[in-house]
């Protein structure tokens, strides 16, 4: 029995259809899927990163809060420190003042011509540092005159007055200690007057009146050098500026003699002063 024959045309159509089916199948397998879309992948990645950031932020929130609190307390402490510094370094922080009084003792060749007396001292200036201050000082010294010299001058009583205006640095040797020692010295203008007085009668009420019978005066340059002790008042942290002081100085005044042989020339004194400095 013979098989039916297949025409060449039918065979060609069958082969062509088979080739087309294979081509379509291969094209479908090589086409990109929707999950490989770059835009969609990017969105998913951004969403994942954002969620991760939220999670990290939530887990780091206590640390951030602690850091903020630490910065806040530091800022508050800094503000308080600035406020304290502003209070301590106020308007008068760079200024220095002093006031005191005491007695004077004559020394050297001046001993026969001046007796003991008293003094008043006041000063103001600049505090350059905790260790060094520069003061302009005013001092008034009132001394008696020995009786022999009063009689020689034609008086019944007498006195010697010395007024000075000087520039004097003060150097604190132990500025951080509650009790300290300082050195000082300087020079400037000195006015000295020697007065011989007598009593006359009488004023409107019948009381004797003291009249200057004779007087000598001079304006001269002079100098001083001294040593002192201070005790700080207040200042919890050792930063107080108010101090009690006690000092002794040597004062030299190159006053000229009134005459060639009266001995009222060079003046040497040691004023001892107690006071307060701030």
**Rounded Cα–Cα distance for residues 177 and 158 (Å):** 45
108-119 burial by CB neighbour count: b if 16+ within 10 A, else e? Answer: eebeebbbebeb
Percentage above 70 pLDDT, the chain? 62
The verdict on residue 261 lying in a domain is: yes
Structural contact between residues 105 and 118, judged by C-beta atoms closer than 8 angstroms: no
**pLDDT 10s digits, 6-57:** 455 556 555 555 555 555 455 555 545 444 444 444 444 444 544 554 455 4
pLDDT in tens, 228-244: 999 999 766 656 789 99
Q: Is residue 54 part of a domain?
A: no
Residue 32 in any domain: the answer is: no
State which residues form the domain around 137: 95-277
Q: Does residue 100 carry a pLDDT above 70?
A: yes
The tally of domains found in the chain comes to 1
The answer to whether the pTM exceeds 0.85 is no
Instruction: Evaluate whether residue 46 is within a structural domain.
Output: no
Quick check: helix, strand or coil at residue 205? coil
Residue 165, CA distances (Å) to 137, 186, 224 in order: 6, 10, 11
In a domain, 230, yes or no: yes
The structure tokens listed for 107 are 């020394």
Please tell me whether the peptide bond between 202 and the residue prior to it is cis, using omega within 30 degrees of 0: yes
In a domain, 69, yes or no: no
Residue 229 has a pLDDT of 98
Closest alpha carbon to 174 in 251, 237, 118, 228: 228
| Nearest residue to 187 via CA among 170, 171, 168, 169 | 168
- How is residue 63 written in tokens? 């640390």
């Amino acid at each position: 029995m013979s098989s039916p024959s297949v025409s060449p045309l039918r065979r060609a159509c069958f082969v062509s259809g088979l080739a087309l089916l294979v081509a379509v199948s291969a094209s479908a397998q090589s086409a990109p899927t929707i999950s490989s879309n770059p835009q969609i992948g990017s969105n998913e990645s951004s969403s994942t990163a954002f969620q991760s950031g939220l999670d990290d932020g939530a887990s780091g929130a206590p640390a951030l809060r602690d850091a903020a609190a630490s910065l806040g307390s530091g800022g508050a402490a800094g503000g308080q420190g600035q406020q304290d510094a502003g209070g301590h370094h106020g308007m008068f922080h760079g200024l220095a003042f002093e006031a005191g009084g005491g007695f004077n003792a004559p020394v050297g060749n001046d001993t026969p011509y001046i007796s003991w007396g008293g003094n008043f001292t006041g000063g103001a200036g600049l505090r350059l540092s905790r260790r060094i201050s520069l003061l302009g000082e005013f001092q008034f010294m009132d001394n008696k005159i020995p009786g022999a010299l009063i009689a020689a001058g034609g008086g019944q009583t007498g006195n010697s007055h010395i007024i000075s205006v000087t520039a004097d640095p003060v150097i604190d040797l132990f500025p951080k200690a509650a009790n300290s020692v300082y050195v000082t010295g300087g020079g400037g203008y000195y006015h000295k007057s020697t007065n011989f007085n007598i009593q006359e009668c009488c004023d409107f009420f019948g009381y004797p009146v003291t009249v200057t019978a004779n007087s000598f005066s001079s304006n001269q340059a002079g100098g001083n050098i001294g040593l002192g002790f201070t005790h700080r008042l207040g200042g919890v942290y050792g930063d107080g500026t108010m101090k009690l002081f006690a000092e002794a100085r040597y004062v030299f005044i190159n006053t000229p003699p009134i005459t060639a042989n009266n001995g009222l020339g060079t003046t040497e004194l040691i004023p001892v002063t107690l006071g307060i400095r701030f």
